[in-house]
Structure 1
């Protein structure tokens, strides 16, 4: 049995959020995700977002190892829809807050979480989209390796001028 096979994926529960905030803080120094740290708002608001459609955690023996959510693409919905002819903003679901505990990286947990979010989006009839900082090379590599493609870029107001614009990516049906 692989390390990833010993992991349980389940819907995120409200009582998970404080432990996920700790996980996010623990992984940030090595992943640089989120890029702005400390956040200018409560970490819990980063984890649980408006327009969230579903969220999951990876867990082993009661220890949280990772997290992913599907959300409404929010402010980026129109940018994605414009880059995807024939698609409306209601057709899209954004993969967000995909994080894995530092000690659990490289075990396939991020891929399991991503696959879970994508499967849920597809079952609901949504096209999976995401945005990623291009300097997060591991994340970009994971997405490209699983068939995601770039459809544009975007520079949000909070992004420092010296940073490259976010990549907008889609996973085609």
Structure 2
């Protein structure tokens, strides 16, 4: 299987809309479904900086984007937790159901991280708290929980989302160790591959998830 990444094009949207809807029942992403606005607006956002699709044998099978953090509450939490460094959020990361476990999600995530680091900023994202598997997948890849927040898109009956950041070196602290005290539900061992669980990943920091 040959996986390639390329910038998203306007003509990718119909297939991405279909893929997003197809994988939502198993991943729970997006949290709100059906969306209260056109799915195309979820995929393409005003503050988006870059977006990629993954292709396997010419077929679009995944998507990821990078954008700014708009939600003021989330920005405040991140500012306090990271010491005010510049950040960018990985968002709208999903993969076709039939290719979960094939490394597509990991490729997209790595591409987004590389872009953010290339601009001198810190990669951040959020995870719905009840998705303990996703939290452990990210931790296994070096991400750290730096706080929690209630972005505007989060339903009132949901617990705050967990905010995570990826330091330059695995294990390096982000901000002061006294600033973060968040209990995270643990559902699986950290020895879970990101590819096997990639469709459970929530990567939508304050961007309308």
- C-alpha displacement of 1:77: 2.5
Report if the CA contact (8 A) 1:31-1:136 is conserved. Answer: no
Q: Match of 2:120, SS? A: coil
Q: Compare relative contact order (CA 8 Å, sep 6+) and give the higher one, 1 or 2.
A: 2
1:104 aligns with 2:99: yes
- C-alpha displacement of 1:97: 0.5
- C-alpha displacement of 1:160: 3.3
Q: TM-score, normalised by structure 1?
A: 0.90
Aligned twin of 1:113: 108
- C-alpha displacement of 1:157: 4.2
Aligned twin of 2:187: none
Per the alignment, do residues 138 and 58 of structure 1 end up closer, same or farther by CA in structure 2, a change over 3 Å counting? farther
Q: Separation in 2 of the partners of 1:53 and 1:94?
A: 10
Aligned twin of 2:186: none
Pick from 74, 78, 81: which aligns with 2:79?
81
Give deviations 1:4-51, integer Å, cap 9, x for gaps.
xx1011111111112111110000011010011000111111111121
Per the alignment, do residues 117 and 49 of structure 1 end up closer, same or farther by CA in structure 2, a change over 3 Å counting? same
Q: Separation in 2 of the partners of 1:142 and 1:110?
A: 12
Q: TM-score, normalised by structure 2?
A: 0.75
- C-alpha displacement of 1:143: 1.3
Q: Which runs of 5+ in 1 are unaligned?
A: none
Q: Which has the higher strand share?
A: 1
Q: Match of 1:106, SS? A: coil
Q: Separation in 2 of the partners of 1:172 and 1:59?
A: 29
Aligned residues: 166
Q: Match of 2:142, SS? A: coil
Report if the CA contact (8 A) 1:12-1:55 is conserved. Answer: yes
Per the alignment, do residues 54 and 158 of structure 1 end up closer, same or farther by CA in structure 2, a change over 3 Å counting? closer
Q: Separation in 1 of the partners of 2:108 and 2:90?
A: 10
Q: Which runs of 5+ in 2 are unaligned?
A: 169-209
Aligned twin of 2:165: 170
1:16 aligns with 2:7: no
Pick from 132, 140, 144: which aligns with 2:139?
144
Task: Please tell me the root mean square deviation across aligned C-alpha atoms, in Å.
Answer: 1.4
In the TM superposition, 1:46-65 aligns within 5 A as 46-65=42-61
